[in-house]
Each structure stands twice: as structure tokens, then as C-alpha cells.
């Protein structure tokens, strides 16, 4: 079953999580995150709202998620739908891994939706939106790096002239 979940086949994902060994707030966070269906992502803030928690505890829960892939922590993103960390890491490799997992879950959804979980509404966004946001961020960072490189070159030229 775990292999099926990892491969993106969630048809059999109907079971109760045994979370008696975690705190009530953590239990609620894991329950909300487990409800995020394939093809959609949400934000730390939306998970926090549905779990009646705050974004930082959600971030800690996702970073230390003991129940992946049952609890698909990779589907939880920053407020702007950009990856902010994965597996407790914030390096380029971890973020690429997170976005790669999301890319594998594209289903062609075009609109946000909501689901009921923990007697609250959880707002969900198509994975495609997260991919677009990440691509825009990569473009922005490249433009910023190019500008900085040009500025540095101009400063070196100024120093060379003196």
C-alpha cells in the first residue's frame, strides 16, 4: 500500500490513523494534512486554520512527519504556494525534491476547491498553481542574480578605472 501511495495511487487510502502517541494538536495537524488529495496543495496557514493551530507548529509537524506518504507533507506549501522546506531542510535539493513530487501529481485541475476536515474548511489549490509559482520564483531569482552580477561587474570596472 505504501508503494501505491508513493506512486500517486490513493484509491485505497481509506483508513484511520493511529496517533495515540502524539499530542492532540499534532494529531489534528496530521489528520488535516492526510486529507489533502492528490492533485492539490494547500498552505501551512490553511492547515493551521483547519487544525485550529498556527503555521509554525504545522511547519514543525510537516518537517518531522513520521507518517509519509500517508500524510503527504509535500503538499503543504508557503502562503504564496512556493516551497519553503522539505524533510526539515531548506536547501535546493530538498526543494527540488518537493516540487518533483508535486509535479508527479498534476491532474489538470484548474480551480481551487475546499474540503471539510476537522469540522473546518480546508482550501486546496491545483498542483499546477504551485508549479507555476515555483517557476516564477526561479525566474525572479535568476533575474536578481543577473542584476547583482551586472552591478558587481560595474563596481569592479569603476574600481579598475581609479
Active site residues: 73
| Alpha-carbon torsion, ordered 31, 39, 13, 79, to 10 deg | -10
User: Which distant-in-sequence residues (6+ apart) come within 8 Å of 42 by Cβ?
Assistant: 36, 75, 76, 77, 122, 123, 124, 125
Output phi, psi for 85, to 5 deg.
Answer: 175, 160
Decide: helix, strand or coil at residue 76: strand
- Compute the radius of gyration of the chain from its Cα atoms: 19
Decide: helix, strand or coil at residue 115: strand
Rounded Cα gap, residues 95 and 78, in angstroms: 12
Output phi, psi for 42, to 5 deg.
Answer: -145, -175
Amino acid at each position: 500500500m505504501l508503494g501505491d501511495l508513493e506512486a500517486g495511487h490513493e484509491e485505497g487510502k481509506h483508513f484511520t490513523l493511529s496517533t495515540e502517541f502524539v499530542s492532540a494538536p499534532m494529531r489534528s495537524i496530521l489528520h488535516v494534512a492526510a486529507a489533502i488529495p492528490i492533485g492539490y496543495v494547500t498552505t501551512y496557514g490553511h492547515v493551521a486554520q483547519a487544525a485550529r493551530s498556527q503555521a509554525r507548529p504545522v511547519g514543525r509537524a510537516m518537517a518531522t512527519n513520521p507518517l509519509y506518504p500517508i500524510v503527504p507533507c509535500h503538499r503543504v506549501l508557503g502562503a504564496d504556494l512556493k516551497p519553503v522546506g522539505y524533510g526539515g531542510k531548506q536547501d535546493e535539493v530538498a526543494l527540488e525534491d518537493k516540487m518533483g513530487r508535486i509535479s508527479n501529481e498534476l491532474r489538470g485541475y484548474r480551480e481551487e476547491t475546499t474540503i471539510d476536515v476537522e469540522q473546518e474548511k480546508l482550501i486546496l489549490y491545483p498542483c499546477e498553481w504551485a508549479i507555476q509559482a515555483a517557476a516564477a520564483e526561479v525566474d525572479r531569482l535568476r533575474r536578481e542574480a543577473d542584476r547583482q552580477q551586472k552591478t558587481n561587474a560595474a563596481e569592479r570596472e569603476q574600481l579598475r578605472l581609479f
